[in-house]
Structure 1
Amino acid sequence: MSSTQPLSKGSGLNFDLSPKDISQIVDRLIAESTAVCDQVACEPNPTFESVIAPFEFCNSMQSTDFNLITFLQDVSVDKAVRDASAAATEKLEAYEIERDSRKDLYAAVNAVYTNKAEMDNLDNEDRRLVERLILTFKKAGVALSDSDREQLMTYKKRLSEIKVQFERNVSTQDGRVLFTREELAGLPVSFFEDRATETTDGVERYVVTTKMPDYLPVIRYAALEDTRRRISLANSQRCPENIALLQETVDLRLKVAQLLGYKSHAELELSTKMAKTPETVMDFLKDLRTKLSVLGNKELEQIEELKRAEMTAAGDKYTGLFRWDSSYYGNILKQCEHNIKMEEVKEYFSLEAVTRGILDIYQNMLSLHFAKVENPSVWHPDVELYEVWEADKTTFLGHLYLDLFPRENKFNHAAMSHIRTGHSNPDGSLEYPASVMLANFPKATSSTPALMQHSDVVTLMHELGHGFHRICSRTKWSRFHGTSVERDFVEAPSQMLENWAWEPSVLQKFAVHYKTGVPIPEDLIKRLVASKNHGAGLGNLFQLAMALYDMEIHMIEDGTIDVKAVYNGTRDEVSLFKGGDEDSWTMATFGHLIGGYSAGYYGYLWSEVYSADMFEARFLKDGIDNPQTGMDYRREILFPGGSRDASVSLEKFLGRKPDSTAFMRSIGLTSD
């Protein structure tokens, strides 16, 4: 594949796979991998070139097929394909568990690792690869007795099965509530356009789901508390079967950790993260809670005053603040303090203009060029595909897919999926990355184009940041490519790029009224930017509650812990809002706990420290559109991916060790 020729027919990826195709690919991947493993395991003269290279080249070259067939369960419109994709995920993950526990394979890799002359002769990325493989094998239990190793494999296979089922439940089980027009008082007229209705008992009611384009407007604008309560409960009572699955997961994770010689799952997971220990994480979270509580309690008093006044005026008794009150009263306060009406703001953010504008910003800042591919081969007509090039159009970098609208049985949040991971091939050629942004932004109606809230603009900035981390990365091995960094750093590059959504000069480039084409007024931009830290205390306390919950259930060292009771208690205590009297289990849809962030959700707050420091120290200082700073960022943060420690990348970009001053300032905790 030449780096100077565009792939005008698309990315070369085939998303039109049948269940039979998927099954055959799985069998082929397993057979090919097994053959390579058998070969290197009996290598008489174990060296990097005879053992490590063929093993890892196999993994790298198989990664695209692996990612593709497991991705389809999140996007395919065909249930049979989604089911086949889920089954493929289980089978492939079960195979990996067995492969990584092979003692003969470990012995061959360890022979290279313990050969000092061989290791000293390797470059940094190759040496890091050997070290990571050794760690992978040890965590797979190769040092255990045969019986303990078999037990470990049983636990891990069950955990893989649970993960697939948990995620399928979340993707396919949306809540659904019927409301009359009167019950939806406060919602804008646009909310009712093209909305499905059902008539029961002679009364027409609107169908409202828990998908984000439905849920967020209702929880934010519905004037009747009971309406907000009902949609909140519909969301927090989804997937009841996931309660038992999460409970089993936490119990099994503890057993796995202790079989491997760790006190807890948290200790096991943190051993390879920047924070290193549970104690470090808890100190960070507790200190942040103390500081955030000052802001949070002030904001809570304002919300409480609003609700008391509203209930008194209506002749009702004040009953307290509940989780369905936060967005509603927070929005009222935002309007009062900053004169911002979100319905007015979104008229300046049509999805088409925003997407085009954001891509232009990334082009300029990162010295890139985007070329839209016409009529690409994709999995749904809504999907767009872009080629990404260096700015001078001489060097091809990768592909970016955008799948931005909700549909039935599609992954129902926002995320970046990486289908093809960049790496070197055995012949020295490059495999170019392909990433997919999945989102659920509001679609166009019969009278308006797709319009975004400003928070959607921030989300788009963030997720595209993950995509460009991949596309701008160049590593020899797929294991280290792009976002394959320490989990508590992975969010930092994307969080840093969110800042562009708050810069007046940036907003003026793409925020235009969808009807008139008039740019967003400077006064509205000033008010919008001034509102950036509105609700920062309560918003961050909610994130803190999720992080503390994650740590609580994964720091246990014996016995079991009630995942539902602990969640409700931690959420109510730390977020400062009650959950109400009715039973709920929001943690049953907390996909981060299953999908790779266990004992790691703190990373969102932890990496905010780094993202704020990078933005303030370099981009604000040098200029947010300074191409040299953008290239420094590409070279030191994006390019190396996980091929070196994140702390090294940070220090090279900053020119010093990072600190938390900029983060505290960014959320209004210091005035310096």
Structure 2
Amino acid sequence: MCEPITPVPQPPSFDILAEDLEEQAKDLVHHTEQAIARLVSSCTDIASADFETIILPLARIDNEVKARVQYLALFQAISPCPNIRKASSYAVNLVDQAYLNIFQNQSLFKLVNYVRENDVCVHVKSEEDVRLLDKFHWMFLENGMNLAGPSRDRFIWISRRLVELRVQFMETLGSDQGCLWKSEQQLAGVPLHRLSAGAGEDGQEGLYRIPLTRPIINLILAECQIPDTRREVYLRSSTRYKVNVDIFREIILLRDEAARLLGFRSFAAQKLTQQMLGSPDRVSEFLTHLQDALQPLAEKEIAELQGLANANDPIHLWDFDFYHTRMLQEQKHVDHEYISQWFPAKVTVQRMLELYGELFSLRFEKLEVSASSHIWHPDVDVVSVWDKQGSALVGYLYTDIFSRAGKYNHAANFNIYPSFLDADGQRPPIVTALVCNVSQAEPALLRHAEVVTIFHELGHGIHDLVGKSKYAMFHGHRTVADFTEAPSQLLEYWCWIPECLRRLSCHFSYVSPEYYSHWLSSEKQKDIIQPPMEIPLSLAQNLGATRQLNQGILTLRQVAFSMFDMRIHNPETHQDVEKMHISEVYGSLLESMTGLSGPGNGYNWGNGHATTSHFVWGQEASYYSYLYTRTLAADIWLSCFKESPLSQQAAMKYRRQILEHGGSKDEHKAVKDFLGRAPTSDAYLQDLGCKVLTTSI
């Protein structure tokens, strides 16, 4: 007799109206409010409060919120419809305000506080349970539950206002960022097939449209031979989203005021109490250590760039990518535009999944859902993800890689449905989405930097998919902020290994008859031999050898952003941040750290801080973590993978000991246990070309 076949859950539907998003948000808010009211009223005697009666029910409420709000929030980033994007923002605002209410509920706080003080040793069974209890308790404290009277009223108003401001800021980032129009002469050196031709705003024919999206900005800065064009594109891209400048300032002021109401000396001091480095002083020490180690290297790199430019004039911020690209081509024999022929976008993503599947014992099966309700745009692909070892459905991965109007303008991975154990001990399928902004030229080819970016973001997706925490609070990438990027930064190393590059590659002429015809028509020489399918080993080796090129400058650029983040979030007094000229701080740090020049006449030439979500929602008071996690990633790579990058044994050990736990275990201890020692920054600084002494981190 045959065993009954368990039906496989279908992927979610994205066929939704704006009013449906709002209705679902209101239903979630109502459900949450009712659940919290029942939980509080169920405990008639505080002495009966324990982990089972208070913390577990609160965790289930939290699971439910996270299981539903991520779906509602996704539409802000991906929907082609402005009304749906606006409704998504409204829906997220409703849910976020309701979520705030949970941790501003005085009666619930008393119960959680009682459990933490009296019950942790009796009922809590695992490290994840302890971390959950500590996390919930901290969230109440962070939301002003130890305040009273006018201070508490003011704090609650600030917390609600900050949610509103964040939503406004993110809505602006989803709006059209404008464009420039340039002639063929003004775009000398740029592969014009990557751009759209048409009439400019003044009706001039024969111009090319330069949308101020990240892929096109990067293309112009790297390839355009005309300095004035590079300068204009850079400065225009640095002054987008003007409306966000005032929003950003209000956010910084309110964060500082709220932190001081809570008794912290700054917002950074408050935030860092929950992270690996622990304090602004330790962050400052870390950044200063990097700056001191990298400054001599960057000065040498600047001199080499000036030599290539054959001028004693400064290298400007908008010149760096151009001369960096020339150095790659002329000194390292790497032409990124030429190499991109071996990385057709969709095929490369497919091969990335094959490599991830081999390393982490996963199987990806593409679903035929074109033009169905299971995708939000015809360009989107979806695969079901299976665990090879148990043949169990893990979840679904969406890939949405091409740019379009209104879409989130960077690259990111969006968790849609997290993992957790439900009340029946079952784990719902995980749903996660890769969202990028590859230029949809014909053929759509990836430059190597885009290959690295997509492989990195897919790494976050893998972290989601293999996560096995009990609580959604700790699923996948939901670790402390200064660990979150480490797993994906580790995976970037595979994109520099010749063997792996060859596995990811496929010359576009082999993809389809249409692409083959396109390749033939683009070749001027007749009877040319079709290139090899995989990137030639010599090209892959040359590319891999460029990894250290100008890393002093590039890393100090990240140090500048990290110092800016600390400067605005860790002022000595509230008056200091009130008087601060935020744009000037941003510009001056960027110039002084990198050694690259701006336009002159002061530093108030842009508002780059207001063109990204990093300092508002994601890495606020934590931007340094991009650098800190690189030190962890480099140490893990050198110790465990460098000698055998395709070792499934090493990858599965890493999956079991690091990825599956997400934030459910102490991250520093997990890395220490994995390495068999405390991590150091040696491997990272050596990676960058520095000679260093051992420094424990």
TM-score by length of 2: 0.91
Residue of structure 1 equivalent to 2:304: 302
Deviation >3 Å, runs of 4+: 2-8, 116-121, 194-203
Moved more, 84-93 or 634-643: 84-93
Please show how residues 22-421 of structure 1 align to structure 2 within 5 Å.
22-42=21-41, 43-44=43-44, 45-116=48-119, 119-192=122-195, 194-198=196-200, 200=202, 202-309=204-311, 319-375=313-369, 377-392=374-389, 394-421=391-418
Moved more, 473-482 or 60-69: 60-69
SS in 1 for 2:206: strand
Q: Amino acid of the residue matched to residue 7 of structure 1?
A: V
Residue of structure 2 equivalent to 1:610: 632
Residues 247 and 562, structure 1, Cα contact 8 Å, conserved in 2 = no
Structure 2 Cα separation of the partners of residues 487 and 638 of structure 1: 15
Change (3 A) 1:3 1:618: farther
Q: CA deviation at 1:661?
A: 1.7
Q: CA deviation at 1:272?
A: 0.3
Q: CA deviation at 1:121?
A: 4.4
Structure 2 Cα separation of the partners of residues 400 and 104 of structure 1: 40
Residues 504 and 525, structure 1, Cα contact 8 Å, conserved in 2 = yes
Structure 2 residue runs of 5 or longer lacking an equivalent are: 510-529
Residues 50 and 123, structure 2, Cα contact 8 Å, conserved in 1 = no
Residue of structure 2 equivalent to 1:619: 641
Please show how residues 654-665 of structure 1 align to structure 2 within 5 Å.
654-665=675-686
Structure 1 residue 577 and structure 2 residue 592: aligned?
A: no
SS in 2 for 1:83: helix
Residues 3 and 396, structure 1, Cα contact 8 Å, conserved in 2 = no
Residue of structure 1 equivalent to 2:17: 18
Structure 2 Cα separation of the partners of residues 243 and 406 of structure 1: 25
Q: Amino acid of the residue matched to residue 654 of structure 1?
A: L
Structure 2 Cα separation of the partners of residues 483 and 66 of structure 1: 17
Structure 2 Cα separation of the partners of residues 432 and 518 of structure 1: 36
SS in 1 for 2:252: helix
Determine which of 465, 470, 482 is the counterpart of 2:464: 470
Residues 403 and 439, structure 1, Cα contact 8 Å, conserved in 2 = yes
Q: CA deviation at 1:5?
A: 5.0
Structure 1 Cα separation of the partners of residues 229 and 354 of structure 2: 41
Q: CA deviation at 1:634?
A: 0.6
**RMSD (CA atoms):** 1.9
Determine which of 417, 440, 454 is the counterpart of 2:437: 440
Q: CA deviation at 1:131?
A: 1.3
Residue of structure 2 equivalent to 1:641: 662
SS in 2 for 1:347: helix
SS in 2 for 1:288: helix
SS in 2 for 1:382: coil
SS in 2 for 1:656: coil
Residue of structure 1 equivalent to 2:521: none
Change (3 A) 1:282 1:633: same
Change (3 A) 1:285 1:5: farther
Q: CA deviation at 1:119?
A: 4.2
Structure 2 Cα separation of the partners of residues 440 and 395 of structure 1: 32
Change (3 A) 1:474 1:393: closer
SS in 1 for 2:434: strand
Determine which of 564, 567, 577 is the counterpart of 1:549: 564
Structure 1 Cα separation of the partners of residues 640 and 437 of structure 2: 33
Please show how residues 469-618 of structure 1 align to structure 2 within 5 Å.
469-515=463-509, 516=530, 517-558=532-573, 559=575, 560=578, 561-581=580-600, 583-618=605-640
Q: Amino acid of the residue matched to residue 520 of structure 1?
A: I
Structure 1 Cα separation of the partners of residues 301 and 428 of structure 2: 50
Residues 242 and 607, structure 2, Cα contact 8 Å, conserved in 1 = yes
Q: Amino acid of the residue matched to residue 518 of structure 1?
A: M
Per-residue deviation, residues 597-652 of structure 1 (Å, max 9, x unmatched): 1110000000001001111111124x211111111111111011111110121122
Length, aligned pairs only:
656
Structure 1 Cα separation of the partners of residues 120 and 448 of structure 2: 56
Q: CA deviation at 1:663?
A: 1.0
SS in 2 for 1:435: strand
Structure 2 Cα separation of the partners of residues 205 and 20 of structure 1: 41
Residues 685 and 692, structure 2, Cα contact 8 Å, conserved in 1 = no
Residues 265 and 554, structure 1, Cα contact 8 Å, conserved in 2 = yes
Residues 26 and 94, structure 2, Cα contact 8 Å, conserved in 1 = no
Q: CA deviation at 1:518?
A: 2.6
Q: CA deviation at 1:117?
A: 6.5
Change (3 A) 1:4 1:113: farther
Residues 40 and 108, structure 1, Cα contact 8 Å, conserved in 2 = no
Q: CA deviation at 1:18?
A: 1.4
Residues 106 and 137, structure 1, Cα contact 8 Å, conserved in 2 = yes
Residues 468 and 475, structure 2, Cα contact 8 Å, conserved in 1 = yes
Residues 246 and 563, structure 1, Cα contact 8 Å, conserved in 2 = no
Per-residue deviation, residues 185-207 of structure 1 (Å, max 9, x unmatched): 11124334x54443746552111
Q: CA deviation at 1:125?
A: 1.5
Structure 2 Cα separation of the partners of residues 201 and 162 of structure 1: 38
Q: Amino acid of the residue matched to residue 206 of structure 1?
A: Y
Residue of structure 1 equivalent to 2:512: none
Residues 367 and 382, structure 2, Cα contact 8 Å, conserved in 1 = yes
Structure 1 Cα separation of the partners of residues 441 and 192 of structure 2: 14
Residues 411 and 437, structure 2, Cα contact 8 Å, conserved in 1 = yes
Residues 417 and 436, structure 1, Cα contact 8 Å, conserved in 2 = yes
SS in 2 for 1:416: strand
Structure 1 residue runs of 5 or longer lacking an equivalent are: 310-317
SS in 2 for 1:138: helix
Structure 2 Cα separation of the partners of residues 56 and 348 of structure 1: 47
Change (3 A) 1:636 1:195: farther
Per-residue deviation, residues 51-109 of structure 1 (Å, max 9, x unmatched): 11112112202322211112111111111111111111222212222221111010111
Change (3 A) 1:53 1:237: same
Residues 51 and 124, structure 2, Cα contact 8 Å, conserved in 1 = no
Change (3 A) 1:199 1:39: closer
Q: CA deviation at 1:306?
A: 2.8
Q: Amino acid of the residue matched to residue 657 of structure 1?
A: A
SS in 2 for 1:135: helix
